[in-house]
Structure 1
């Protein structure tokens, strides 16, 4: 979820009041409220342990010791635990939370207390945002199955938290300076072998438990964007926005080869697209080419390209310019991969990543006017069939 906190940012606290890296704050009164079994630290059982071994160990322990809370069983979940609301309250002690304007909290059950805190005094929340919304997130809160005091994290194994973070990197919503917080039970804090970490795994800066606030001082780099080789076709179908992000990064010349695909190299002698410069963007966002629109004159691009579909735009004004149409498309948030301009015929063709994106564009562009003329918009295939 996304929420806006207080409009004014208080000045940063002086260094003397900030927690140093590696500092662990223990709340003795809260520790006495927990049973001795609640605070037992766990270690991997054997050398050569895998991420799944650690997950199973945590899940089994939380169930057997009755530390888990609804929904149960906690296996294959980010586990909810008794005392999760207590752990969430600790976020109020973090300077980064006090200064937060935009916070992104994952939907996991043990993070519910943070979501409620973030919503206090907030009128607008869970507002859908687009890829060009220029949102800058100040704080990210994620769930975990296991986490180490070094800031190394293991999720439930589906990769959604890592992917969402990478997607935010891709649109410039977060940077390497954006702090990441996780909420866990004390028994979920354990040593994690470094060899288990992968390039796409996010690290955490703060760990909140019912009894401790841990500042990890983690220096491990965060993911720099989407690792497309980890993305399957099935995931592309489940998360439609990935198709738009992939198309953007492909236009920018990045390797977007999916899991199980062979890398597609440019055809010899084929002219490369010249990106159209985008407008203002927040710091650390990809350059203009990440939000580009390729313009060409002549016939629409050939058939057979993967994940592509064309939209016909007709009844263009005789004095219309290609820049007029580009501007209108940007304002409507319907930027294509490629724009083929046929001004003398008073028409243009727009290429989108796939048929679903093309159909969405057709719906979005209905009633579009340039000057006094209302444009005709339809799927190009349907127009040719008439």
Structure 2
């Protein structure tokens, strides 16, 4: 794929061909920022610990030491969960923006997170003892149902599927599904149990969750990386992609399945956190252009950094109480969404 081929992306930005050293530098700096953010997040909390204590607990864990237990059983899975789910949400958003050619696409904005949350609410109401592995499956099914509803609603209206109609349909479906989730929570007295999924948070992530979710997310990201060249071409338009031999319908389907898996399993662990998949892919494009072979890995790292810092901020604003991590991300994401919406309106 040449820089001449990749000349436009969601948001209509021009592409410059990036060099291997520049991409390597971006990856290195992003990985360093992730490690730094994780180390800070593990160090600070209700009980402050020295950096030496944190390092010793990570490298030479001693279950007899209380501080080591706090770090290993509570903070490490929490921080690792924030990093993994942040990467998943960011890659899901990048995929949706690429295959739909909609710069406003995000699993939260398009209502996919709302579908996953609805299935969590139904599971709590009718199957309270459901094992976590089945909750992940139900969450994915909810995300898939929501996505199908949005695409059907958008594509059957006059004029066919457009980015604007997709965004409006997503907002409508999200409002409906959130209302249903709230009704179920009130009727079955689940409001307190579901508050976590509405606001989003990583405090409940445990090693048992990560053992199930991390392999799924890694496999999904590797799978969509195999589609990255085709998604880059689709982002230029169906005609261009088809002329270059891309089977657009198949790539779109596989790309959306990847996004649904990433978003669905993440909601089952940390709740409905929006805007990560909106903000991070745009930042990634500014750094590395619109080639999805670069966007996906950079988005994964930056998404992880964002959610780890958001969780740290949620814990540090008013200790020992915690703010909702979704609210922290929204402080950045909501203004960014309004800026993109205004930019898109001016370009029409």
TM-score with structure 2 length normalisation?
0.22
- Specify the structure having the higher radius of gyration (Cα): 1
**Higher percent of residues as strand:** 1
Say which structure, 1 or 2, has more relative contact order (CA 8 Å, 6+ apart): 2
**Higher percent of residues as helix:** 2
TM-score with structure 1 length normalisation?
0.21
